[in-house]
Amino acid sequence: MKFQLKSNFRPTGDQPVAIDKLIKSIKNNNRHQVLLGVTGSGKTFTMANVIANLNLPTLVISHNKTLAAQLYQEFKEFFPNNAVCYFVSYYDYYQPEAYVPQTDTYIEKEVEINEEIDKLRLSSTANLLSRKDVIVIASVSCIYNIGNPLEFGKFVMEIRPGVKIDRKGILSRFTDLQYERNDYGFRRGTFRVRGEDVDLFPAYSDLGLRFETTEKEIKKIYEINPLTGNIKNLLNSTVIYPAKHFMTNPKSYKSVFKEIRKDLVNRVEELKKQNNILEAHRLHQRTNYDLEMIKEIGYVNGIENYSRYFDGRKPGDPPYTLLDYFKTCSKNFLTFIDESHMTIPQIKGMYRGDRSRKETLIEHGFRLPSALDNRPLKYEEFAKRVNQITFVSATPDEYELSLAIEQKAITEQLIRPTGLVDPKVSIKPSKGQISDLMKEINKRVSKNQRILITTLTKRMAEDLSSYLSEQGVKVSYLHSDIQTLKRQDVLDKLRLAEFDVLVGINLLREGLDLPEVSLVVILDADKEGFLRSKTSLIQTMGRAARHIDAEVIMYADIVTNSMKEAVREVERRRKAQTRYNKRHNITPQGISKAIRAKLVEQEEQEDKTIDFLLTLSKKEVILPDEKEKLIKKLRVEMKNAAKDLDFETAAMLRDEIRHLQNPDVPTKTLM
């Protein structure tokens, strides 16, 4: 099936030229191209047009979950009839396995998995194995080990009515695919038996499957509502994919276990020679336990640390990642790296951080050296696996520009479809900045406009927020302690005028779509550094570029080189935009944009319910029956918090449950 782009708009401004230039560059087999597009110029729409024209599977990488979710929703709207997928880390709470030698503390891996995101991840790989019209919006999670797609593909089960297989055989196959039998709690990744029917809830789907069976064959297959059990559709056939990415073939156990045990003997001898007797014993015990678990049930927590053996890789070989699923899907695929000036450094930094932690585990006998091969890709390995990359940013770094400049593959997209121009920029002295700031705020609030203020430190942001609140300003403070998806709630409240001013630090930069913001204020603009570099300043200024009265004020005592370069670049863009508007007789139009539904909905009464339950748990006397009911309710709220990606609350509730079960356990949450 071909990509079918659905939109009420046609490419305008710089978009037609940018689309044409990118398509030609990719067709000319240029490996690297840059789309330098200003905020609000419709870069996502340009990408969508390129994808629709070239009709290739596409990977779009973003540097955080919030922006990835925003892109996912936009591409879903552009391609409603194609497979648009979301592939980010599925952990709500993630405590990696670690060892701290200084205190002799082993920290076991502990995770809370978000079932909705797990479904979307499995849906991504299932789609890549079954169709070509696939767009995957991913975070850097796409460079982490998820197992061999060819091995995963071997476990795919195709079923049609009339297939000769008895019920015992069906249940056995489902178990091989890592589905669990649960006749009472039917959820994703489980199956149940009801009379002659076997129901399966695929781990990657919103609908269940019902297999109507006789003693020796499948009679009918239905799609069902997993909640009510009502039949939705009669199917001619269906394909079932495994419930987990890491799959092991029992036929390979003998040879794989032999190889693992050989490496175990060598490593134990090595540790003994170093007089590390405890470490040698620990490694021997842990590894044999893991092998027994794999032999019995085909899975063990931490099985990914043995993935090199099951994948047939040599020591040091790169892992299989989402990119290998793309290679399986199609020889050629497109890669867009969104906000590349942030995403590229993130991809480059993943390998070293992962290796350092695992070396400590190996040194102290918690893991075999093969654990080092369960890792993210090095940047060089990533670059080899993608065919053609388009770097997308309003401020691409020298690295991206240097790769594209040789092929003359830098495309500028400076003109906005709305005719809006980049904001006016003024520099004011720091002396008297707060009283001046109050005047500017009052001016904007009287026009029902919003204001963003960026500071350098958390303390400064807190103090400023408190002061503005005391002056009667409706203000909120966006900080790193707010969980990823709840940050979007704060931004939505700003847009809905529940408050007028938002104060933040580094969270007011890339990808925030806030058309109601007319003023961006940058305090301490002359303090050179990461937060006040040319790139950061231009990105921050861009937050006002969706408003017809856009303005940026920088408060500073001196004008730094970064400030000069940022102002010069914004002025260059502003002149080009004004010139274009004049030539085409365009009057700038303000943007009115609806607030999208959240990717993960939150319960309105959630906080009140949690507070009430925590108050109950603090009672001096709780009867046994009352305690059991309370623990059950706390478990429900813990799972809800985890589903909402609020793993701080989830961890707090988890600790409270443990304390209720064992009062000697302290309730302090370690994050």
- Name the pTM for this structure: 0.80
Q: What's the 3-state SS for 1-15? A: CCCCCCCCCCCCCCH
Interval 384-391 mean pLDDT? 94
Residue with more model confidence, 117 or 647: 117
Tell me the pLDDT tens digit for each residue of 131-158.
Answer: 999 999 999 999 999 988 988 888 899 9
pLDDT of residue 606: 47
pLDDT at 24 over 90: yes
Residue 615 pLDDT greater than 60, yes or no: no
pLDDT at 668: 44
Model confidence pLDDT, tens digit, residues 7-22: 998 999 899 999 999 9
Structure tokens at 383: 């670059």
Give me the chain's average pLDDT, please.
88
Closest-CA residue to 504 (of 540, 551, 549, 535): 540
Look at 205 and 634; give whichever has higher pLDDT. 205
CA angle 655, 660, 666 (to 5 degrees): 50
pLDDT for the residue numbered 590: 82
- List all residues 6 or more positions away from 624 whose beta carbon is below 8 Å from its beta carbon: none
Angle between the 484-495 and 65-78 helix axes, to the nearest 10 degrees?
70
User: Which residue type is seen at 320?
Assistant: Y
pLDDT of residue 508: 58
337 near 389, Cβ under 8 Å?
yes
- The one-character DSSP state at 371 is G
Q: Output phi, psi for 412, to 5 deg.
A: -95, 140
The alpha-helical segments, DSSP class H, found in 236-372 are: 253-273, 277-297, 307-311, 322-329, 340-363
Calculate Rg over the CA atoms of the chain: 28
202 sits in which H/E element: none
Least confident piece of the model among 27-41, 105-119, 222-236: 105-119
Are the CB atoms for 546 and 460 separated by under 8 Å?
no
Confidence band for 604, pLDDT divided at 50, 70 and 90:
very low
C-alpha 281/C-alpha 186 separation (Å) is 41
426: left (phi over 0), alpha (psi -120 to 50) or beta: beta
Q: Whose CA is closest to 486, among 113, 117, 69, 63?
A: 69
The token pair that represents 105 in the structure block: 């503390």
Q: Are strands 424-428 and 551-555 parallel, antiparallel or unpaired?
A: parallel
**Which helix (H) or strand (E) element contains residue 136?**
strand 134-138
Residue 610 has pLDDT above 60, yes or no: no
Output the pLDDT for position 323: 97
161-215 per-position pLDDT tens digit: 999 998 889 999 999 999 999 999 899 999 999 988 999 999 999 999 999 998 8
Instruction: Name the helix (H) or strand (E) containing 484.
Output: helix 484-495
Q: Which residue segments constitute the domains of the chain, with CATH numbers given?
A: 15-148+314-413 (3.40.50.300), 157-240 (3.30.2060.10), 424-583 (3.40.50.300), 606-661 (no CATH)
Residue 137 and residue 47: Cα distance in Å, rounded? 12
Instruction: Kindly indicate the confidence band of residue 598, based on its pLDDT and cuts at 50, 70 and 90.
Output: low
